[in-house]
Amino acid sequence: MLSEHSVDHVLLERGEVANSWRCERWDSLCLLTPNWQSRLPGYPYQGADPGGYMTAHELATHISGFAAASQAPVRTHTTVTALRRMEGGYHVLTDRGELRCRSVVLASGAANLPRVPPLRSAVPPEIDCVTPHEYGNPHRLPPGGVLVVGASATGVQLAREIHQSGRPVTLSVGEHVRLPRTYRGRDVLWWMEASGVWNQKYTEIAELERARRLPSPQLVGTPERATLDLNTLRVAGIELVGRLSLIRDGRALFSGGLANQLALADLKMNRLLDTFDAWHRSSSPDLQCGPVERFEPTRPPASQRLTIDLRSGEIRSIVWATGFRPDYRWLEIPVLDNHGELRHDGGAVLGAPGLYAVGLPVLRRRKSTFILGAEDDARDIVAHLVQFLAGAAPLAPTGIIE
């Protein structure tokens, strides 16, 4: 898109194109979105299985194909070590030289580093602590019981896989987003897109901060298009406990509020399904789809444990599926708030004209962090950037990498 506007640009990539999809995902990971939704600007999915879900490796190949087709000027194996303000623009330091430019787009993603709660420091040392970046597969965990903390997409997927490896699994459940894999015969993410929910703009969302903090939905991409909800996990034999509130004297204490977390997620799911049904009735009544469905409420466990003695040997490892955060350690410009989040208005970084971000949660639309969401956001950001450049003073010749 920058080329369409004749904007001279370069893309810096610390490894190969789509590096994080090659190196920072667990072995079995598949996308949550069906293949036909993995479309990039001018580069739709053209494989044989539009309803399937790509592996991380397949997605990396897809993104590399897009990079080649769009002739993106990518400098691979170039790690940015610092980004600073300078007169008339920005100074980019890399491990392969320096660069000066008038505008910078941060496209390094929202999930660079695992977000692990401080109470990890109270875990007894004999227990292995593993983040999703370190996890790989269940066989890397020690034999014995596993506590999975967090019930977003990552948590429910890893809990199921670890359970299938024969290890007893306890899943600590806080606030979560329940979704069926398919609704009325179609992928639930088809509904998110078709009904316009995903297109909702950040300026139209009443509780924007909350929307930006929402955990990823409990979905998994499998050939069977199976729903992976907490009922499924409980029936399979995974023990559900409440949110991990505290570790004291080697004992993990869980919230007694699990029933309400389950009720809230069911209510929110049903409200979303109501939205889909209303959209279908009013906008597309002729569209072929199955009858209205409502799913079984999530049943709380019959007896719920509030404490587990981490020194008893029952739990041998803890998987922290407690979310991710961006890595801005190289960003030497004061644009972060006191939670370490980037202050921005729809991707235009506040207090730093010419600095932009893409790919953060609900950056400009609900779909901003999904692959198909990149196009609309990029178009808006590029339009803003082009306007900014038109008004900006020219910069001395750019620096050189290699």
Partner 1 sequence: MEQLNRVNNGVNVQALLDAREALRQAPEAAEFTWRASCKWKNGTFAQSTVRGFRGLGQEQSHKSEFSFETDHPEVFASEDRGATPVELVLVGLASCLTAGVAAVAQNRGIQLRSVEAKLEGKMNIYGILGVDSNVRNGFDDISVTFHIDADASRQEIEALVAQSQKRSAVYDIVTNPTSVTVEVA
Instruction: Report the residue number, 174 or 217, with the smaller CB distance to partner 1.
Output: 174
Instruction: Name the minimum Å distance from CB 246 to partner 1.
Output: 5
Neighbours of 140 (CB within 10 A): 13
From the list 242, 300, 326, 346, which residue makes contact with partner 1 (rule: CB under 8 A)? 242
Using rule CB under 8 A, residue 172 touches partner 1: no
Instruction: Name the minimum Å distance from CB 253 to partner 1.
Output: 5
Please tell me whether residue 330 adopts helix, strand or coil conformation: coil
Strands 97-101 and 89-94: antiparallel
Helix (H) or strand (E) holding 146: strand 145-149
From the list 5, 77, 140, 248, which residue makes contact with partner 1 (rule: CB under 8 A)? 248
From the list 94, 218, 255, 369, which residue makes contact with partner 1 (rule: CB under 8 A)? 255
Residue 347 to residue 17: CA distance in whole angstroms: 22
* Binding piece for partner 1, criterion CB under 8 A, among 55-63, 64-72, 75-83, 244-252: 244-252
Amino acid at 290: G
264-283 footprint of partner 1 as x/- string (CB under 8 A): x--x--xx------------
* Binding piece for partner 1, criterion CB under 8 A, among 73-81, 186-194, 214-222, 252-260: 252-260
Using rule CB under 8 A, residue 298 touches partner 1: no
Contact 49, 35 (CB under 8 A): yes
Residue 188 to residue 194: CA distance in whole angstroms: 10
Using rule CB under 8 A, residue 236 touches partner 1: no
DSSP classification of residue 322: S
Determine phi and psi for 147, rounding to 5 degrees. -100, 120
Residue 296 to residue 213: CA distance in whole angstroms: 27
Q: Can you list the alpha helix ranges (DSSP code H) found in 12-119?
A: 19-23, 56-69
Using rule CB under 8 A, residue 292 touches partner 1: no
* Binding piece for partner 1, criterion CB under 8 A, among 42-50, 56-64, 85-93, 253-261: 253-261
Amino acid at 259: A
Contact 88, 392 (CB under 8 A): yes
Instruction: Name the minimum Å distance from CB 402 to partner 1.
Output: 47
Instruction: Report the residue number, 71 or 338, with the smaller CB distance to partner 1.
Output: 338
From the list 263, 278, 292, 350, which residue makes contact with partner 1 (rule: CB under 8 A)? 263
Contact 124, 146 (CB under 8 A): no
Q: Can you list the alpha helix ranges (DSSP code H) found in 70-149?
A: 132-135
Instruction: Report the residue number, 87 or 209, with the smaller CB distance to partner 1.
Output: 209
Amino acid at 271: R
Residue 46 to residue 38: CA distance in whole angstroms: 10
Residue 144 to residue 166: CA distance in whole angstroms: 9
Q: For the chain, how many residues are written?
A: 402
From the list 109, 144, 257, 361, which residue makes contact with partner 1 (rule: CB under 8 A)? 257
Instruction: Name the minimum Å distance from CB 268 to partner 1.
Output: 9
Instruction: Report the residue number, 86 or 263, with the smaller CB distance to partner 1.
Output: 263
Instruction: Name the minimum Å distance from CB 301 to partner 1.
Output: 13
Instruction: Report the residue number, 327 or 345, with the smaller CB distance to partner 1.
Output: 345
* Binding piece for partner 1, criterion CB under 8 A, among 30-38, 83-91, 190-198, 249-257: 249-257
Burial, 278: exposed, middle or buried (Cβ in 10 Å; 0-12, 13-18, 19+)? exposed
Burial, 333: exposed, middle or buried (Cβ in 10 Å; 0-12, 13-18, 19+)? middle
Instruction: Name the minimum Å distance from CB 239 to partner 1.
Output: 18
Instruction: Report the residue number, 85 or 268, with the smaller CB distance to partner 1.
Output: 268
DSSP classification of residue 20: H
From the list 11, 116, 214, 253, which residue makes contact with partner 1 (rule: CB under 8 A)? 253
- With contacts defined by CB under 8 A, how many residues of the chain interact with partner 1? 15
State the SS3 of 337-397: CCCCCECEECCEECCCCCEEECCCCCCCECCCCCHHHHHHHHHHHHHHHHHHHHHCCCCCC
Instruction: Report the residue number, 203 or 260, with the smaller CB distance to partner 1.
Output: 260
Using rule CB under 8 A, residue 260 touches partner 1: yes
Instruction: Name the minimum Å distance from CB 360 to partner 1.
Output: 20
* Residues at the interface with partner 1 (CB under 8 A): 242-243, 245-246, 248, 253, 255-257, 260, 263-264, 267, 270-271
